[in-house]
Amino acid sequence: MESRSEQFKNDIFEISAEAGDARSGVLRIGDTELSTPNLLPVVNFYAGGTDASLYGGGIHRTIKEFMNGDEVVNGGDYSRYFDGVMTSVASLTDYGISRERYEDYISEPIRERDVFDFDGTLFLDSGGFKFLGDSRLDGSDFEVEVDQEAIVEIQRKLGGDVLVNLDRPIAPDDDYPTRVEKARLTAQNVDEFLNLTSRDDTRYLTLHGYNYSMLDTFLSEVEKVIGRDRVHREFDGVALGSLVPLKDNKEKLITAVSDCREVLADWGFEELPLHVLGISSSAIPLLAAVGADTFDSSSYIHSAINGKYDTSLYNSEPVDDVDFSKCDCQVCSDDVLVKRMEGDAEYQKDKLGAVAMHNLIIQKEEIQRMQSAIQSPGDGELISYIEQSLGREKSMQQHAHRVVNESLGGYF
Ligand SMILES: [Zn+2]
């Protein structure tokens, strides 16, 4: 029997507290530290544009200005909300950029650029979700063939702290043979991914499935291709994908994450950090309660683009109806930014960018409350947190009861 330290040589995750299946700890990657559970906002570092415009236009640019504490957004320090961010290689393919601009964009690691004041943990997704449905990852705009090799090259050039293999997400209506085939194709990428990277990199393995048997099958297919030894030794974390099409079905999301934790435990991966790709807002407390460690989402931006100002993880108001004095977040406490949200802004991005930042703060503060609940002794704090937050939302009650019963030993 190998010792734990041999099994997890690249030990980046230290769990310091548990409440039921929920856990809280620290992810240490390179010289960055991220406390968990945590939400990584999706930041689009490119979003069209040039170096002079912070590589970005529209609302994405405003987000980067907040990240930088730029004078343009009145100079506040928002860096704590960007302690970790997710960006996707696929964001490059959303824009018809030229080869020249592409080369320019990937020419320097993101954290080393003067235009971004960012020193948090950078997760670099592979963009595999682009394979969902009929769309495919297409690098033709900049004449780069997008395969596993190209993805690793881009991830490295952008200076990602966490690298994720190129994957083939499943869709809810895929039949069994299709799911197995996608697992097999993903496994081939995983094999190549491991050959192109080393133990010095922080590598997350993608898993896809909605329940125990699907996830176990997926892992078995990976094992068939790369071998038992490598599946057990090479990864620092696991990223659970394919859940975005289920995002409105809390029941299925809870099952997917709690079954995933069960599969990981049965495979001996219990202590690897578990990242849930693309899920946020109201699902976070439920999924953290059953053992998810990190999340990423762009919902803070999408809500804002749709004119939605979040009042909690579960509710929002049309931005034009909001009484900003009711929120004490940093954005809503800033008169200049409030004026913009009230409509006194030259461009829509100045109004909605501030709303997006407020939305992100709402999500980040909520997950911080969860962290402290998990960290306090016993399960009581977490149960009462779930009661007081989710338990008060009618649409959430049954899910809140389920996670308390299944993960936290039920009510007193
Ligand atoms: Zn606010």
Compute, in angstroms, the gap from residue 299 CA to the centroid of ligand 1: 16
Output the CA 71–ligand 1 centroid distance in Å: 19
Query: Which pLDDT tens digit goes with each residue over 82-93?
Result: 999 999 876 665
Taking 50 as the threshold, does the pLDDT of residue 6 lie above it?
no
Q: Report the separation in Å between the CA atom of 119 and the middle of ligand 1, taken as the mean of its atom positions.
A: 24
Task: Grade residue 97 by pLDDT with cuts at 50, 70 and 90.
Answer: low
**Cα(282) to centroid(ligand 1), Å:** 17
Expressed in angstroms and rounded, the spacing between residue 200 Cα and the centre of ligand 1 is: 40
Per-residue pLDDT tens over the stretch 297-346: 999 999 999 999 999 999 999 999 999 999 999 999 999 999 999 999 98
- Ligand 1 geometric centre to CA of 338 (Å): 9
Sheet with 13-19, strands from edge to edge, namely 13-19, 22-29, 32-36
Instruction: Give the per-residue pLDDT at 133.
Output: 44
390 CA distance to ligand 1 middle (Å)? 20
Contact 162, 204 (CB under 8 A): yes
* Distance from Cα 247 to the centre of ligand 1, integer Å: 25
d(CA 388, ligand 1 centre) in Å: 20
* Alpha carbon of 81 to ligand 1 centroid (Å): 13
Distance 245 CA to ligand 1 centre (A): 29
Ligand 1 center to residue 330 CA distance, Å? 6
At 32, which helix (H) or strand (E)?
strand 32-36
**58 CA to middle of ligand 1, Å?**
20
Residue 55 Cα, ligand 1 centroid: separation in angstroms? Answer: 26
How many other C-beta atoms lie within 10 A of the C-beta of residue 269?
Answer: 22
CA of 358 to the centre of ligand 1 (A): 5
Q: What is the pLDDT of residues 304-317, one digit of tens each?
A: 999 999 999 999 99
pLDDT at residue 412, as a whole number:
56
CA-angle at 388, arms to 385 and 391, nearest 5°: 110
Q: How sure is the predictor about 94, in pLDDT bands with cuts at 50, 70 and 90?
A: low
215-231: per-residue pLDDT in tens?
A: 999 999 999 999 999 99
- What's the pLDDT at 336? 97
| For the chain, percent of residues with pLDDT exceeding 70 | 88
User: Cα of 333 to ligand 1 centre, how many Å?
Assistant: 7
Centre of ligand 1 from the C-alpha of residue 327, in Å: 5
pLDDT value at position 154?
A: 86
Spatial CB neighbours of 342, under 8 Å, sequence gap ≥ 6: 324
Mean pLDDT on 395-403: 92
| Mean pLDDT of the 172-188 span | 94
Give which of 357, 341, 281 is closest to 312, Cα–Cα. 281
145 band by pLDDT with thresholds 50, 70 and 90: low
Query: Is residue 280's pLDDT more than 90?
Result: no
Mean pLDDT of 186-199: 95
pLDDT at 208 over 80: yes
Q: Is 69 exposed, middle or buried (0-12, 13-18, 19+ CB in 10 A)?
A: middle
- Residue 8: predicted pLDDT: 46
Least confident stretch, 46-50, 322-326, 393-397:
46-50
Does the pLDDT of residue 5 top 60, yes or no? no
Centre of ligand 1 to C-alpha 88, Å, is 27
User: Ligand 1 centroid to 391 CA: how many Å?
Assistant: 23
Measured in Å, residue 66 CA sits from the centre of ligand 1 at 14
Q: How far is the CA of 322 from the centre of ligand 1 (A)?
A: 10
Average pLDDT for the chain: 88
Pair 78, 69: CB distance under 8 Å:
yes
Q: Can you give the pTM of this predicted structure?
A: 0.92
Nearest to 77 by CA among 301, 358, 330: 330
CA 281 to ligand 1 center in whole angstroms: 15
Higher pLDDT, 158 or 6: 158
- Give distance in angstroms: CA of 329 to centre of ligand 1: 4
Mean pLDDT to the nearest integer, 26-32: 93
Tell how far the Cα of 89 is from the centroid of ligand 1, in angstroms.
30
Quote the pLDDT of residue 219. Answer: 97
How far is the centre of ligand 1, averaged over its atoms, from the C-alpha of 362 (Å)? 7
pLDDT at res. 89 = 78
**Are the C-beta atoms of residues 363 and 371 closer than 8 Å to each other?**
no
- Phi (first) and psi of residue 44, to 5 degrees: -95, 100
Find the 298 Cα to ligand 1 centroid distance in Å. Answer: 17
CA of 142 to the centre of ligand 1 (A): 39
The CA 345 to ligand 1 mean position distance, Å, reads 17
How far away, in angstroms, is 311 Cα from ligand 1 center? 8
Q: Which pLDDT belongs to residue 55? A: 54
For ligand 1, the distance from its centroid to the CA atom of residue 313, given in whole angstroms, is: 13
